[in-house]
Amino acid sequence: MEEVCERENLKRALQRVRANHGSPGIDGMTVDDLPDYLRANWPSHREELLRGSYRPSPVRRVEIPKPHGGVRTLGIPTVLDRFVQQAMLQVLQREFDPSFSNSSYGFRPGRSAHQAVASAQQYIASGDRYVVDLDLEKFFDRVNHDFLMTRLAKRVRDKRMLKLTRAFLNAGVMEDGLVSPTEEGTPQGGPLSPLLSNIVLHELDCELERRGHRFVRYADDCNVYVQSARAGRRVMESLTVFITKRLKLKVNAAKSAVARPWERTFLGFSFTHGHQPKRRIAAEAMARFEARVRGLTRRTRGVSLAQMVRELGAYLLGWRAYFGFCQTPTILRRLDKWIRRRLRAVVWKQWQRPGTRFRELRKLGVNPKDAILTARSNRGPWRATLTAALCWALPNAYFDSLGLPHVAAQ
């Protein structure tokens, strides 16, 4: 606990909490309020931590929709509790992370989802043409506290740290003004939760390594790669027993499967079929992308083209940073073409009247004959985007000048 309360550790924790922004907890305090609050109140909280008497507040329940339907429940701690958790995380992570498996990639310093996907790709290329895709049902809601604390106590001797970790696990959830106890689970939303989940699932990693399996795990997404369907079914059956009895968790049979890797999705990616599999964007991820772009470029939104491009550009930059890791550039070029066609349809819709369309086309350099024929056409906005006049007037360079990024490499 003295390490947690060390000045440099606290400074890093405050920087991280402020950088992550995040919503207020049940007390309404924001991350911008935190520095002033700490200047006035930190000495008393520090004494509570060192005495082992600090008491976390209940978390605020928030539900966010999942991509495939349903909701994911988050527990948002107060900003002060997030600060304390972050300071604890920085100390505990130094102790635990070096001992974690090389096949574990989630929520670890210097490791990423891209590395996990690349590792899976290597296993497939080397001949492991079947995957045991394990889905743990409501993992973060079902972590057994006693199991977790037992694993934590093997490495942490400071009883104040153990007591405080248990207090965070049992802090409860406030909803509609009422506090409900939490007897299991590590609520998503706090800085400490990802590390605690890795401590629990390290047992699974150790078991897989003991059996000599090749696997990739990112948080609760775990794929084991084998050479035959028969071996996959055997692995699935034995691991289900291990997870249920040893980890006190449940395998979601409906979402888990033994299949070909190109038939499954891993962290938003899948793979092409062949001796040298390539990374491709999974169909579900592509559908979510197209739905989001359609929403942002809806012709009835009633916003200016400049504002639409700003909002769309912010989304595309984030999407490209992750899914640009795919190895199917033709798909990305097709998406770029589709996005710009949608924007041309927006502009055509905004011009509305034939006279306006004629004047705008002329301003943009279209010759009078093509401008008048295109302006008088009764084609709808989507079909109009295929005309030579509109493509000439609104080339890709026009949208580049507005700051619209490409999703394909240029």
Residue 192's closest CA among 130, 238, 143, 225? 143
Report the alpha-carbon distance of residue 129 to residue 262 in Å, rounded: 9
CA 393/CA 371 separation, integer angstroms: 10
Helix, strand or coil, per DSSP, at residue 61: strand
How many C-beta atoms surround the C-beta of residue 203 within 10 A?
15
| First CA to last CA distance, the chain | 51
User: What would the pLDDT profile of 18-77 be if each residue is shown by its tens digit?
Assistant: 999 889 999 999 999 999 999 999 999 999 999 999 999 999 988 777 766 667 778 899
Contacts of 250 (CB under 8 A, 6+ apart): 136, 137, 138, 142, 243, 244
pLDDT at residue number 181: 74
Which H or E run includes 367?
none
- Put residue 83 in one of left, alpha, beta given phi > 0 → left and psi -120 to 50 → alpha: alpha
Residues contacting residue 210 through CB under 8 Å, at least 6 positions apart: none
Contacts of 288 (CB under 8 A, 6+ apart): 67
pTM for the model stands at 0.90
Give tens-digit pLDDT for 63-96.
777 766 667 778 899 999 999 999 999 999 999 9
